[in-house]
Chains A and B, each alone.
Chain A
């Protein structure tokens, strides 16, 4: 039995390197802000990190949450709670049967701060000083479990883990739960809090991170010839998805329609993208087809575009492969140029940007492009934001993760 109920977006929330809320983040994006900041000098000195900066959160969660909440949640759970509360309030705190309310919040890494702090405690002070909440705080489903607990959501609490596609895949899963009739309202998104010396060292060892230490705010430069890796970011983005009739019946504000999701796996390499974009293009084609659209309907792409030399070209190839000449009329934005790469929250944040792009009919300008790489065959939005057309429009958001995970979500205006 499959039903195909329509899924709309009725609430948005975020806490990111460029803003403490969804609106602040969007406004900062339109201002071309950068979330990149220097790391504490102590980290750089103690661990001799080759990268001295990251896109750290703009508003610390302890300014928003109660003291017990910050004590009982890993930072990744704290960010998710901040974003979820905002999204829930923005949606007007919908009245819904708890058994028809669900949660799907993904993460790439989970509670790495909790894990490593507890390891230090064990070594230095012994097992009795290891917090009893260590395991429930470090587990990757901690954010979705706690949000489900706090909002009394009983339709299901899910955590999709697919590295940097986790947030996007979680939203797709949430939308499917509504479309298939398992839930009427879902709180869904992604969260990540991995700006910690260990993941920094690990990503640096892969040579995945930019080392532009003398100029952090210009380090995330997708599509630019001088790009040299991504800028690690952190934060959370969460949206409220709702079955259309449920939303209309209560007079909710509807930002956009969450139309469809396409997924695929590369089965090529654990970390490197398949260079011709075969797998990624299949996800994009599937998403457009499932939305009942054709490539000509897509006016804007929020690209994965992390600013790595190889990845940006592979995605450009994948988009061309998926959409052919129709690609020429798609305005492509790479918002990681401003936010950095939020890993498991990236796809959620960029879906949020796609929702707001539809809502405001505006494709945000990519920053930090001085010399567009001639191998990028896309209509990249730069220098100025691009007005999107009136009438029915559709936008695509790509997210790819280590492991070969490809996820494409389509957001439409109606």
Chain B
């Protein structure tokens, strides 16, 4: 069942918190994963894989570079959920 963007954002924030320890409130749509949240490429891959499991989507490796902000990821997940 597809989730709302708000639910996806909350779920993604939990994944980011789990991986990096960042407060869930700091994970906002306008934040850049690398520039604002200081997430390196290794952590990003872990977050992507955990997001695939959590939201039931496939995020191809080629797509990851397009997910610059948290909002990009939320939009991608929302539009690709089965």
Q: Which residues of A does B touch, CB under 8 Å?
A: 66-69, 71, 128-129, 131-133, 136
Contact = CB atoms under 8 A, between A and B. Distances in A.
A129 B49 CA distance: 7
B45 A67 contact: no
Contacts of B21: 66-69
8 contacts: A66-B21, A67-B18, A67-B21, A68-B20, A68-B21, A69-B21, A131-B46, A133-B46
B48 to A, nearest CB: 9
Interface string B1-27: 000000000000000001111000000
Given A67-B18, A129-B49, 6 more contacts: A66-B21, A68-B18, A69-B21, A132-B41, A132-B42, A136-B42
B42 to A, nearest CB: 4
Question: Chain B contact residues (Cβ within 8 angstroms of A): what range?
Answer: 10 to 19
Contact of A71 (B19, B45, B49): B19
A132 B46 contact: yes
Contacts of A128: 49
A133 B19 CA distance: 12
Contacts of B49: 128-129
List the 3 closest pairs (A to B, CB-CB), nearest first.
Answer: A68-B21, A132-B42, A132-B45
A66 to B, nearest CB: 5
Nearest to A71: B19
B5 to A, nearest CB: 25
A128 B50 CA distance: 11
Contacts of A129: 49
A129 B45 CA distance: 10
A67 B23 CA distance: 12
B54 to A, nearest CB: 13
Nearest to B40: A132
A136 B42 CA distance: 11
A111 B56 CA distance: 31
A67 B20 CA distance: 8
Interface in B24-82: 41-43, 45-46, 49
A318 B49 CA distance: 55
A136 B45 CA distance: 15
A375 B18 CA distance: 56
Contacts of B41: 132
A169 B53 CA distance: 44
A54 to B, nearest CB: 30
